Chains A and B, each alone.
Chain A
């Protein structure tokens, strides 16, 4: 990417984005989904929050661990910020893993809902050169390649008699450091088995190792038969294996493991109190591990709503141990209005109207870049469009940047494809629909349906 030289006059030369990324970005925004790539180019505001999270990555690269809670209302940009930081972490040389929690994927559960989260995380392992996930095989391949290269530098090639011995020695040296951790012994054995299978060209054994690492074995018997290891990754121990994975990726040359968990409100929604508290207890254990140095190189960011965090009956604050760690102290409560980005909780306020206008401005520039033309929309029309969006019933609570951008790109597309159409033709004739989705129910007379009354 060509960097800008600080010349604000030429907007287009300031922001040069690879075409594929730009296309993917605009397609995602048009579809109303969070872009997996190129999110940085539509990041407006949030500078302090981004710097705070970037700082966490720096500390993780130095061997510290960390956990943050990114809290914001619906439509405040939590998922966007998580994807943004995920891409940035990859750029910085981290391996990333991300997952959206759901009723089937929790922190802790009895019917595989805990290990389901681990599986999703490992499935979504990504690196800079494998940004879309599924990076586990290429991680391992890269590692083995690098080992081979190291040996080759020392004059030990695959043709050399002592090649296998030397290679095994390097592998053992690496995995030995992990054996001391919980589950480390079996983890190390599987890594060794993978290396062995790779050298021998045994695809089935390689596949079995990958299955084990992904947590896909559901019984110990099966794992023992396939790999001669006595344990599996399950609901109770999946975080221990995530820590081992982190140690492994650091050992093979990455800066660390950045984990992003979104939609944590699903924990808040667990109806059974005991089950919910078990999840919170597990979360507390993860929090302690991250902040007490038991997971060096791992940084975690969890996205959730204010209810997930602060509800005194069902949220994290309902669990005393978490509340005492996460709640604002007395002085912080007195200092409302001041930001504290060093605390575990980062609160995201909704974007201001001017920030939304800035976002529209940015998207206009990107759109023009992609289509190699200047969009036929004036400054005043951009403002008018935004005001029209904000004037809709319920917009104050319900409107999201996602909705605004989706509609805006539709307008730009229409203007592009219909040279005779004017902005007023497209935007002026639209009846305001309630914010919160076009399918939101409107109150009709039937809602207050009255029986026939005799007068």
Chain B
């Protein structure tokens, strides 16, 4: 029977057109072996997730300044070779700098050097040269992936400490345009840092760290609660819960960045520390039991066998309370309000989820460390350039001394002189003025002596006889007020107080407290008057 070629699918499958390869100035490039279009990369051997066997362990360490307890790095158990070519190309093209080139789009499901045309390669080189110098030109997603693969596969050419920062900067600068980067770099960067014992570049990732956390399987690597101190814990809580990023504030400029970076985290630390003392839900807590997870490095990336690793991580996962997000978000906004006030920026966030007590904590921090910069609080500079000091209350505080009954007694005794000083009598006794010399008339009451006048006035006062008092005053060419005033003067000397007052402002009355004293006084005057007469 003749061979049935009906089922020969090669006759019906689409032939892939091989791109043109030229060897120009890149004469050093090796001959590029072509690969049949039908050839697909070998699938990665399926491997159950398990801890790195001791035999394969290359490195074991306890990372510093992370929430991870232990990291074990192991060799990849089964060898493969399908990315060796990529590695070769990457090494050869590592220093390729073609100069300025025109942008050309590039797409591939698994970007590799051999898939690019010459112009694409030139643009890639130009773009990479600028990237390495901190300039982020227009690019395509596949160029970015290619570069990432390069970094992951060439630790011997690009030192990891630099590789971490380049990956992080790349991510920071292109993630807006290519959001898919979050999904991959969240894992690949973590793997890269763990493999090469590099710290997480939080300073670069900080503006979008919160967005990373939901995308990563190992958020404990990214969380800043590394030192276990209040600042780290607070920062972690903010990263986990705040939906507002103060680092993206339009008021955070080159000039103001320092204030933002210094005071907002510090204020949040103060806030969360105090709130944590009141309610444990505000504390960053970790699970009591450690867990161990294994991960394959660089999943989905082009990675040569020699760079592929198995990673085993032991850690205690972070636990947070749900529902904190609106509070912490508003707290961050309130902190930014404090910084804005200090900068003299009028615009403020409206915060609605903070209670009065919570707001007070934040206000207290800023009042102490960064008061509003307004004419009200600006330092006052004198014409000679010196600054007028604030109120110095130390001069008004009470002296610190031990309580002593004896000392108190001495103070009380010595203070009696004050009472004597303030209650001193006049040296000249106040007496009523002697009656003027005048021609006696039947209408006038005869009275030759001051004592007699006092006696009669006191009698009228005792009896409440205001008319009598008035007539007596007139007989002495005195106003009633003056006569009573003189009685009061005498009473002040004798008794220490006045004896008559005008409760209604018009009529003089005896003060009842002194009725007895007045009676006694009258008796004494009567006796002395009688004795004189005798």
> Quick one: given A129-B489, A383-B403, are A350 and B396 in contact (CB under 8 Å)?
yes
Measured between alpha carbons, how far is A230 from B147 in the docked complex, in Å? 96
Binary CB contact string for chain A from 345 to 357 against chain B (1 if under 8 A, 0 otherwise): 0011111111101
> Considering the complex, which residues of chain A in the window 84-119 have a beta carbon less than 8 Å from any beta carbon of chain B?
84, 87-88, 91, 93
Contacts of B357 in A (CB 8 A): 443, 447-449
Quick check: is B420 within 8 A (CB to CB) of the other chain? yes
> Quick one: given A353-B398, A451-B323, are A45 and B419 in contact (CB under 8 Å)?
no
Binary CB contact string for chain A from 367 to 411 against chain B (1 if under 8 A, 0 otherwise): 000000000000100110011000000000000000000000000
> Quick one: given A134-B505, A312-B390, A448-B278, are A149 and B403 in contact (CB under 8 Å)?
no
Measured between alpha carbons, how far is A93 from B425 in the docked complex, in Å? 11
Closest to A350 in B: B398
> Considering the complex, which residues of chain B in the window 478-494 have a beta carbon less than 8 Å from any beta carbon of chain A?
478-479, 481-482, 485, 488-489, 492
Within 8 Å by CB of B477, from A19, A157, A320, lies A157
> Quick one: given A141-B481, A455-B281, A455-B321, are A354 and B391 in contact (CB under 8 Å)?
no
The answer to whether B418 and A47 touch across the interface, beta carbons within 8 angstroms, is yes
The answer to whether B497 and A21 touch across the interface, beta carbons within 8 angstroms, is yes
Measured between alpha carbons, how far is A383 from B376 in the docked complex, in Å? 44
The answer to whether A152 and B477 touch across the interface, beta carbons within 8 angstroms, is yes
**Interface-located stretch among B262-270, B407-415, B458-466:** B407-415
Task: With both chains docked as a complex, state the minimum distance between the C-beta of A408 and any C-beta of chain B, in angstroms.
Answer: 14
Task: With both chains docked as a complex, state the minimum distance between the C-beta of A76 and any C-beta of chain B, in angstroms.
Answer: 6
Quick check: is B4 within 8 A (CB to CB) of the other chain? no
Binary CB contact string for chain B from 392 to 428 against chain A (1 if under 8 A, 0 otherwise): 1111111101011101110111111111111111100
The answer to whether B391 and A88 touch across the interface, beta carbons within 8 angstroms, is no
The answer to whether B412 and A358 touch across the interface, beta carbons within 8 angstroms, is yes
> Considering the complex, which residues of chain B in the window 365-383 have a beta carbon less than 8 Å from any beta carbon of chain A?
375-380, 382
Within 8 Å by CB of A73, from B396, B401, B407, lies B396
> Quick one: given A47-B414, A91-B423, are A357 and B323 in contact (CB under 8 Å)?
no
Contacts of A23 in B (CB 8 A): 513
Closest to B514 in A: A20
Within 8 Å by CB of B403, from A20, A84, A386, lies A386
> Considering the complex, which residues of chain B in the window 422-438 have a beta carbon less than 8 Å from any beta carbon of chain A?
422-426, 433, 436-438
> Quick one: given A1-B423, A141-B479, A349-B399, are A18 and B496 in contact (CB under 8 Å)?
yes
Quick check: is A322 within 8 A (CB to CB) of the other chain? no
Quick check: is A128 within 8 A (CB to CB) of the other chain? yes
Contacts of A14 in B (CB 8 A): 416
Within 8 Å by CB of A361, from B396, B412, B438, lies B412
Closest to A361 in B: B412
> Quick one: given A141-B481, A306-B393, are A8 and B513 in contact (CB under 8 Å)?
no
Binary CB contact string for chain A from 48 to 63 against chain B (1 if under 8 A, 0 otherwise): 0011001000000000
Task: With both chains docked as a complex, state the minimum distance between the C-beta of B65 and any C-beta of chain A, in angstroms.
Answer: 28
> Quick one: given A91-B423, A362-B415, are A129 and B391 in contact (CB under 8 Å)?
no
Contacts of B496 in A (CB 8 A): 1, 16-18, 21
> Quick one: given A23-B513, A149-B433, are A40 and B418 in contact (CB under 8 Å)?
yes
Q: How many residues of chain B are within 8 Å of chain A by beta carbon?
A: 78
Quick check: is B358 within 8 A (CB to CB) of the other chain? yes
Contacts of A350 in B (CB 8 A): 396-398
Measured between alpha carbons, how far is A386 from B398 in the docked complex, in Å? 15
Contacts of A153 in B (CB 8 A): 436-437
Measured between alpha carbons, how far is A310 from B392 in the docked complex, in Å? 8
Within 8 Å by CB of A128, from B323, B420, B489, lies B489
> Quick one: given A129-B485, A307-B391, are A454 and B321 in contact (CB under 8 Å)?
yes
Task: With both chains docked as a complex, state the minimum distance between the C-beta of A135 and any C-beta of chain B, in angstroms.
Answer: 10
Contacts of A93 in B (CB 8 A): 426
Closest to A349 in B: B396
The answer to whether A141 and B482 touch across the interface, beta carbons within 8 angstroms, is yes
Contacts of A8 in B (CB 8 A): 413
Task: With both chains docked as a complex, state the minimum distance between the C-beta of A102 and any C-beta of chain B, in angstroms.
Answer: 22
Quick check: is A413 within 8 A (CB to CB) of the other chain? no
Quick check: is A450 within 8 A (CB to CB) of the other chain? yes
Task: With both chains docked as a complex, state the minimum distance between the C-beta of A249 and any C-beta of chain B, in angstroms.
Answer: 15
Within 8 Å by CB of B482, from A146, A312, A336, lies A146
Task: With both chains docked as a complex, state the minimum distance between the C-beta of A175 and any C-beta of chain B, in angstroms.
Answer: 20
Closest to A348 in B: B396
Task: With both chains docked as a complex, state the minimum distance between the C-beta of A137 and any C-beta of chain B, in angstroms.
Answer: 8
The answer to whether B327 and A148 touch across the interface, beta carbons within 8 angstroms, is no
A-B pair number, CB within 8 angstroms: 218
Within 8 Å by CB of A354, from B411, B419, B421, lies B411
Measured between alpha carbons, how far is A17 from B513 in the docked complex, in Å? 13
Task: With both chains docked as a complex, state the minimum distance between the C-beta of B242 and any C-beta of chain A, in angstroms.
Answer: 15
The answer to whether B478 and A128 touch across the interface, beta carbons within 8 angstroms, is no
Quick check: is B498 within 8 A (CB to CB) of the other chain? yes
> Considering the complex, which residues of chain A in the window 1-42 have a beta carbon less than 8 Å from any beta carbon of chain B?
1, 3-4, 8, 14-21, 23, 37, 40-41
Task: With both chains docked as a complex, state the minimum distance between the C-beta of B33 and any C-beta of chain A, in angstroms.
Answer: 59
Task: With both chains docked as a complex, state the minimum distance between the C-beta of A4 and any C-beta of chain B, in angstroms.
Answer: 7
Quick check: is A155 within 8 A (CB to CB) of the other chain? yes
> Considering the complex, which residues of chain B in the window 482-533 have a beta carbon less than 8 Å from any beta carbon of chain A?
482, 485, 488-489, 492, 495-498, 505, 511, 513-514
Within 8 Å by CB of A347, from B395, B409, B423, B488, lies B395
Contacts of B505 in A (CB 8 A): 134
The answer to whether B421 and A447 touch across the interface, beta carbons within 8 angstroms, is no
Most chain B beta-carbon neighbours within 10 Å: one of A54, A129, A138, A448: A129
Task: With both chains docked as a complex, state the minimum distance between the C-beta of B396 and any C-beta of chain A, in angstroms.
Answer: 5
Quick check: is B353 within 8 A (CB to CB) of the other chain? yes
Quick check: is B46 within 8 A (CB to CB) of the other chain? no
Most chain A beta-carbon neighbours within 10 Å: one of B281, B382, B426, B479: B479
The answer to whether B416 and A4 touch across the interface, beta carbons within 8 angstroms, is yes
Task: With both chains docked as a complex, state the minimum distance between the C-beta of A35 and any C-beta of chain B, in angstroms.
Answer: 13
Closest to B282 in A: A450
Contacts of B421 in A (CB 8 A): 50-51, 54, 88
The answer to whether A347 and B396 touch across the interface, beta carbons within 8 angstroms, is yes
The answer to whether A145 and B478 touch across the interface, beta carbons within 8 angstroms, is yes
Quick check: is B14 within 8 A (CB to CB) of the other chain? no
The answer to whether B355 and A449 touch across the interface, beta carbons within 8 angstroms, is yes
Contacts of B396 in A (CB 8 A): 71-73, 76, 306, 347-350
Quick check: is A144 within 8 A (CB to CB) of the other chain? yes
Binary CB contact string for chain A from 420 to 455 against chain B (1 if under 8 A, 0 otherwise): 000000000000000000000001000111111111
Within 8 Å by CB of B481, from A50, A145, A313, lies A145
Quick check: is B388 within 8 A (CB to CB) of the other chain? yes
Task: With both chains docked as a complex, state the minimum distance between the C-beta of B505 and any C-beta of chain A, in angstroms.
Answer: 7
Measured between alpha carbons, how far is A450 from B282 in the docked complex, in Å? 11
Measured between alpha carbons, how far is A353 from B477 in the docked complex, in Å? 57
Contacts of B417 in A (CB 8 A): 47
Beyond the given A141-B479, A383-B403, please list 19 additional residue pairs across the A-B interface where CB-CB is below 8 A: A20-B513, A40-B422, A46-B418, A47-B415, A54-B421, A91-B423, A310-B390, A349-B398, A355-B408, A357-B407, A358-B415, A359-B412, A361-B408, A362-B415, A386-B403, A443-B357, A448-B358, A453-B281, A453-B324
Binding site for A on B (CB under 8 A): 275, 278-279, 281, 321-324, 326-327, 353, 355-358, 375-380, 382, 388-399, 401, 403-405, 407-409, 411-426, 433, 436-438, 477-479, 481-482, 485, 488-489, 492, 495-498, 505, 511, 513-514
24 A–B contacts from the bound complex (CB under 8 Å): A1-B496, A20-B497, A40-B423, A47-B417, A47-B418, A50-B422, A91-B424, A128-B492, A129-B489, A148-B478, A306-B391, A306-B395, A336-B394, A336-B395, A349-B397, A350-B398, A351-B398, A354-B407, A361-B412, A362-B412, A451-B353, A454-B322, A454-B323, A455-B322
